[in-house]
C-alpha cells in the first residue's frame, strides 16, 4: 500500500486551568498554538462559584449513577443539599460526581440520603464556607439569568425524558427524586403536557 497523505477535517476541543497568556510571556507555551486553539474561548467557572447549580447537579449525577448501576433513585434531605452548597469542591465537578456515585452505593434501597451517609472526611473538611449563603448572595446569584436558563432547560429535558418513559407520573417523580406535587409544578412551569416532546 503506497504511503500518501490523508486529509482530515477535525475540530479540537481543549481545556486548561492554566493562564496560557502568562505561559506565552514566560516562553512556556507556543503563541502560534495558542491562537490556533483559542477560536471560541469559554470560561467555565469552578463549581464553588456556581452554588446555584449544585442541587440540579446532585440530582443529575444521582440519576446518572443509579441508572448506570441499576439502583433505586434515592431522595436527598434538604440539610444535605444545604451542606453541599457550602462545600468548596476542590475536586470540582468530578468530586461531586464521585460523591454521588459513592452515595448511591451506600444508601439503603428506597431511603433518603441524610447527613449520616456523607463520608467522614467530607463532614470534617476544611473546605466548608463558614456560613451558609446569605440571602443577598442568593439574590445576586438569581440575577445571573443566562446560567439559570441553561439549568432550567436541562431540568425541563430531564422531566420530559422521565415523562416519556413512564405513563405514571408518580414513577416519573420517583425516578427524578422529587415529590409528585413538585413534578406537577414543573410540568406546569415548563408547559409539558403528557406525552409532549
Q: How confident is the model at residue 147 (pLDDT cuts 50, 70, 90)?
A: low
pLDDT of residue 41: 86
Residues 56 and 86 in one domain: yes
Residues 106 and 128 in one domain: yes
Split into its structural domains, the chain has a count of 3
Q: What is the pLDDT of residues 19-33, one digit of tens each?
A: 999 999 999 999 999
- The half-sphere exposure of 122 on its side-chain side, counting CA atoms within 13 A, is 22
Q: What is the pLDDT of residues 57-115, one digit of tens each?
A: 999 999 999 999 998 889 999 999 999 999 999 999 999 999 999 999 999 887 899 99
66, part of any domain: yes
149-155 mean pLDDT: 74
Give the range of the structural domain holding residue 175, as residue numbers without chain letter. 144-197
Length of the chain: 197
Residues 51 and 39 in one domain: no
Q: Which residue, 10, 72, 45, is CA-closest to 141?
A: 45
Q: Which residues, 6+ apart, have CB-to-CB distance to 125 below 8 Å?
A: 87
125, part of any domain: yes
pLDDT surpassing 90 at residue 125? no
In sequence order, what are the beta bridge partners of 113? 76
Residues 136 and 157 in one domain: no
Residues 56 and 132 in one domain: yes
Taking the model in full, what pTM does it have? 0.56
Residues 125 and 159 in one domain: no
Amino acid at each position: 500500500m503506497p504511503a500518501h497523505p490523508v486529509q482530515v477535517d477535525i475540530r479540537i476541543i481543549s481545556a486548561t486551568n492554566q493562564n496560557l497568556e502568562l505561559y506565552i510571556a514566560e516562553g512556556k507555551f507556543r503563541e502560534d498554538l495558542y491562537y490556533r486553539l483559542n477560536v471560541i474561548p469559554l470560561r467555565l467557572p469552578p463549581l464553588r462559584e456556581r452554588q446555584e447549580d449544585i442541587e440540579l447537579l446532585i440530582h443529575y449525577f444521582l440519576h446518572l449513577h443509579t441508572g448506570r448501576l441499576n439502583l433505586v433513585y434515592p431522595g436527598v434531605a434538604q440539610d444535605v443539599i444545604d451542606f453541599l452548597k457550602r462545600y468548596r469542591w476542590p475536586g470540582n465537578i468530578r468530586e461531586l460526581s464521585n460523591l454521588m456515585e459513592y452515595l448511591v452505593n451506600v444508601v439503603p434501597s428506597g431511603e433518603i440520603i441524610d447527613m449520616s451517609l456523607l463520608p467522614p472526611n467530607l463532614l470534617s473538611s476544611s473546605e466548608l464556607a463558614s456560613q451558609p449563603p446569605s440571602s443577598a448572595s442568593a439574590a445576586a446569584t438569581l440575577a445571573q439569568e443566562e446560567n439559570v436558563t441553561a439549568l432550567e432547560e436541562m431540568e425541563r429535558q430531564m422531566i420530559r425524558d422521565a415523562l416519556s418513559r413512564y405513563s405514571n407520573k408518580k414513577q416519573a417523580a420517583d425516578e427524578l427524586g422529587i415529590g409528585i406535587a413538585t413534578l406537577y409544578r414543573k410540568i406546569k412551569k415548563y408547559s409539558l403536557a403528557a406525552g409532549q416532546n
